[in-house]
């Protein structure tokens, strides 16, 4: 497995601000271990390639971990788009939805109510991955959902200035903390957990509430001594054994 990062700006409206520098791509490999994470910066991106392809199974297929903090409507959250590919060339984005108000800019250290977003990485706080279901992406001959090999994470520029804003599938601006003019600005990628891997691994089933989640793979590495857990609220939690 591998992770390649293209750093974004500290402030996309001021290119002279330079790029973010916090963390290293290796911090996105392996199990979630925040505070170690790699910062993407405004519009930065990370491409993760998996030795073991994964597929569209029942329910969620993978989860993306960020290092947000807080809870409920008072959580500090930074968002990113998520795209997948089965050939490393053609990428397809999950249809993201944001109903966060755009009248007032969310400041660099202000909070967000996660209930207003869907299919954006970073919706949940540290150690709780945001789950994604490949079935949400429209079928196309250019994406083999039975053998997905790449995931691309693209930072959402949370500006409500149309000159710099990022938009959801319906053309709505996505408001998240901005301007984050420091080395760790933008989305902080902590880990990606694969649920439906094509490589058979020892399976540990953990039941919490009604859902049951199967531990399979994190970035291509065997995780027999750890578990993903779906909480009753539908989030994905990582528990190291």
Average pLDDT score over residue span 68-79: 90
- Identify the pLDDT of residue 30: 85
Rounded CA-CA distance 206/209 in Å is: 10
What confidence tens digit (pLDDT) does each residue in 119-130 have? 999 999 998 999
Q: What is the mean pLDDT of the chain?
A: 85
Which alpha helices (DSSP H) does the chain contain, by range?
none
For the purposes of burial, counting CB atoms within 10 Å of the CB of 105, is it exposed (0-12), middle (13-18) or buried (19 or more)?
A: middle
Banded model confidence at residue 46, pLDDT cuts 50, 70, 90:
very high
Q: Are 178 and 157 in contact (CB under 8 A)?
A: yes
Confidence category of residue 174, pLDDT binned at 50, 70, 90: very high
In this structure, what are the phi and psi dihedrals at residue 114, rounded to the nearest 5 degrees?
-65, -20
Q: What's the whole-number mean pLDDT along residues 112-117?
A: 94
Mean pLDDT of 138-149: 98
CA distance 125 to 236: 10
Distance CA 25, CA 3 (A): 6
Side-chain-side CA neighbours of 64 within 13 Å: the count stands at 27
What pLDDT, on the 0 to 100 scale, is given for residue 74?
85
- Residue 200's pLDDT is what? 56
- 157-167 residue pLDDT tens: 999 999 999 99
pLDDT (tens digit per residue) in 185-235: 999 999 999 999 988 543 333 333 333 333 333 333 333 333 454 444 444
For residue 137, which of 171, 90, 99 has the smallest C-alpha distance?
Answer: 90
């Amino acid at each position: 497995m591998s992770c390649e990062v293209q750093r974004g700006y500290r402030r996309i409206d001021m290119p002279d601000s330079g790029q973010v520098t916090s963390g290293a791509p290796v911090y996105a490999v392996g199990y979630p271990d925040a505070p170690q994470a790699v910062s993407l910066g405004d519009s930065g991106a990370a491409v993760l390639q998996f030795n073991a392809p994964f597929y569209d199974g029942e329910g969620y297929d993978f989860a993306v971990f960020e290092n947000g903090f807080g809870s409920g409507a008072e959580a500090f959250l930074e968002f990113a788009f998520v795209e997948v590919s089965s050939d490393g060339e053609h990428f397809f984005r999950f249809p993201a939805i944001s109903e966060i108000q755009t009248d007032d800019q969310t400041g660099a250290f202000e909070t967000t109510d996660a209930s207003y977003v869907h299919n954006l990485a970073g919706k949940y706080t540290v150690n709780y991955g945001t789950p994604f279901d490949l079935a949400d992406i429209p079928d196309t001959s250019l994406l083999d959902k039975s053998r997905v090999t790449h995931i691309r994470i693209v930072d959402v520029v949370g500006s409500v200035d149309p000159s710099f804003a990022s938009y959801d599938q319906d053309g709505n601006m996505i408001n998240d903390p901005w301007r984050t003019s420091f080395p760790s600005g933008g989305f902080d990628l902590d880990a990606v957990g694969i649920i439906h891997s094509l490589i058979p691994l020892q399976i540990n089933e953990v039941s919490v509430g009604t859902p049951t989640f199967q531990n399979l793979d994190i970035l291509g590495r065997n995780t027999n001594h750890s578990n993903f857990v779906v909480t009753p609220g539908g989030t994905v939690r990582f528990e190291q054994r």
